Structure 1
Amino acid sequence: MMTGFRLNLSPLKEPLGFVKLVEWFTAIFAFGCCGGYSGKNIVSVFCGNGTNKTLTAAFSYPFRLSQDLLVEGNMTFCNHTAGPTHLVGDSASSAEFFVGVAVVCFLYAMAALLVYLGYMHVYKDSDFGPIVDFVVTATIAFLWLVCSSAWAKGLQNVKDATGDEGIASTLDICTQSDITCRVTEFANLRSLNISVVFGYLNLCVWAGNAWFVYKETRWHSQKYAGQPVPTRSQVPAPI
């Protein structure tokens, strides 16, 4: 059996190769929309005498909010002093898990495409390749379910911590009767919302691709090989 590289683009015309190419692109969008993000909310502190001051609530990937300063040093607001204050919350585990799964999927999809386009003759002639491909594909589909759900919850925690109620509960002076704290300018979270959408989209794509990979395994072929072939009853010839 020849095991050398043979470039063949025909698998891209079939669901097995085409879906893997789609997975490669969706993984790029998933980690590209989440990793490297940075934004800031502008917080206004309104005093009872009509004056106000502004603060910047800056946050970025991986969203360890407890390390991001809201008030860097002692500051006076409406005759009340506030010491150094950090944002509250930590969504780093869910964000890094999400990006990590996306990067692994990007690399695996690229490696699988290399096998499909150059070593499909070896892939189809062996039982090991399709079975490993199926197990990895099914596992990745499950990981997308877990990491997308975790990151959706983590993103909501970021929104809550940097919103009006989160800032008011974080900054002690906001509890004073003559002070009102409100976020007057919100960071653009569109890319983070899109990352969650692509996470669940990847779940659907990888779960669907698992079926096409399963059809390449011996489990699928044995299932149909073991079924009896229906025979047609003999009709007597007319006399």
Structure 2
Amino acid sequence: KGPQLYLAQVRFPPRTMMTGFRLNLSPLKEPLGFVKLVEWLTAIFAFGSCGGYSGTNVISLFCGNGTNETLSAAFSYPFRCAPNRSFNRQHCIQTNKMDPQDHYSASSAEFFVGVGVVCFLYSMVALLVYLGYMHVYKDSDFGPIIDFLLTAALAFLWLVSSSAWARGLQTVKHATGDAGIAATLGVCAQGDVTCRVTEFASLRSLNVSVFGFLNLCVWAGNAWFVYKETRWHAQKHGGQAAPQRTQVPAAI
């Protein structure tokens, strides 16, 4: 019976760590999980305010013969070049100045929205790990390290994408103004026609989307809390906290 019992113990060793799902909401009460929840919400706010935008400007044409006409110029995300029948069948004219339908604005807007979507998905996965697999996350050396590297990389992407979209938004505002419309519409190039924007579309949501820099601050702060979970932080402070022993002379 002794050898048989030994073989049974070898074949079926007791499990020292459970890797199953364990729902635990306590990480939300700590900065590590709470900030990740804030990141999830701000990511929705960022790409929703930019990616779902659409607006229409009303343009008045003052002709030399005394007649006036009104056109509706619609533009929306991602602000690409496209023909518009309301422009008297005039196509988007490429000039030295960028217009709202230029590919430069499209690339910066798409980059900003893409970063927001990626951060939204990563925040969901991270929250799932925190709330259900925190026991595995704590016992693993690579989990916190990977989490820290990805969080730092996404914080850098927020910096780049927010800066690019802030510049792209200025392009959109210029192109939808009087000067941009005059440069875009072929009919406005005629000498006896004056084009003016008499009703501007509300750019409130686009202005709010520039607060993507807020996401940079949130993700940079979260990177610090994730770094504290890594072994790098533990080794650094563990060595500094070790007390120095002083030799006490033995009693004679």
Q: Same fold by TM (over 0.5)? A: yes
SS in 2 for 1:59: strand
Aligned partner of 1:79 in structure 2 is: none
Question: Is residue 99 of structure 2 the alignment partner of residue 86 of structure 1?
Answer: no
Aligned partner of 2:134 in structure 1 is: 120
1:57-96 equivalences under 5 Å are: 57-64=73-80, 66-69=81-84, 71-73=86-88, 84-86=90-92, 88=99, 89-90=102-103, 91-96=105-110
Aligned partner of 2:222 in structure 1 is: 209
SS in 2 for 1:210: helix
Matched residues, percent identical?
Answer: 76
| Cα distance in 1 for residues equivalent to 2:153 and 2:91 | 42
The Cα of 1:42 is off from its aligned counterpart by 0.8
Give the alignment's TM-score, normalised by structure 2: 0.83
Deviation digits for residues 108-127 of structure 1 (CA, Å, limit 9, x no counterpart): 00110010011111101110
Deviation digits for residues 183-211 of structure 1 (CA, Å, limit 9, x no counterpart): 001111111111111x1111100000000
Aligned partner of 1:77 in structure 2 is: none
In structure 1, stretches of 5+ residues that fail to align are: 74-82, 235-239
Aligned partner of 1:159 in structure 2 is: 173
Question: What one-letter code is carried by the residue in structure 1 that aligns with 2:193?
Answer: I
Aligned partner of 1:237 in structure 2 is: none
What RMSD over aligned residues (CA atoms) do the two structures have, in Å? 2.1
The Cα of 1:54 is off from its aligned counterpart by 1.0
Aligned partner of 1:18 in structure 2 is: 34
| Cα distance in 2 for residues equivalent to 1:228 and 1:17 | 27
Aligned partner of 1:187 in structure 2 is: 201
| Cα distance in 2 for residues equivalent to 1:144 and 1:226 | 34
In structure 2, stretches of 5+ residues that fail to align are: 1-16, 94-98, 248-252
| Cα distance in 1 for residues equivalent to 2:67 and 2:233 | 73
The Cα of 1:174 is off from its aligned counterpart by 2.8
Deviation digits for residues 45-96 of structure 1 (CA, Å, limit 9, x no counterpart): 11245431111211111110x21426554xxxxxxxxx62326422111111
C-alpha contact 1:141 1:207 (8 A) present in aligned 2: yes
Question: Is residue 110 of structure 2 the alignment partner of residue 104 of structure 1?
Answer: no
Question: What one-letter code is carried by the residue in structure 1 that aligns with 2:205?
Answer: S
* 1:70–1:233 Cα change, 3 Å: farther
Aligned partner of 2:239 in structure 1 is: 226
Q: How many residues align?
A: 224
* 1:36–1:166 Cα change, 3 Å: same
C-alpha contact 1:24 1:110 (8 A) present in aligned 2: yes
* 1:84–1:228 Cα change, 3 Å: closer
Q: Report which of the two has the higher share of strand.
A: 1
The Cα of 1:176 is off from its aligned counterpart by 4.3
SS in 1 for 2:24: coil
**Structure with the greater alpha carbon radius of gyration:** 2
The Cα of 1:228 is off from its aligned counterpart by 5.3
C-alpha contact 2:112 2:161 (8 A) present in aligned 1: yes
Question: What one-letter code is carried by the residue in structure 2 that aligns with 1:103?
Answer: V
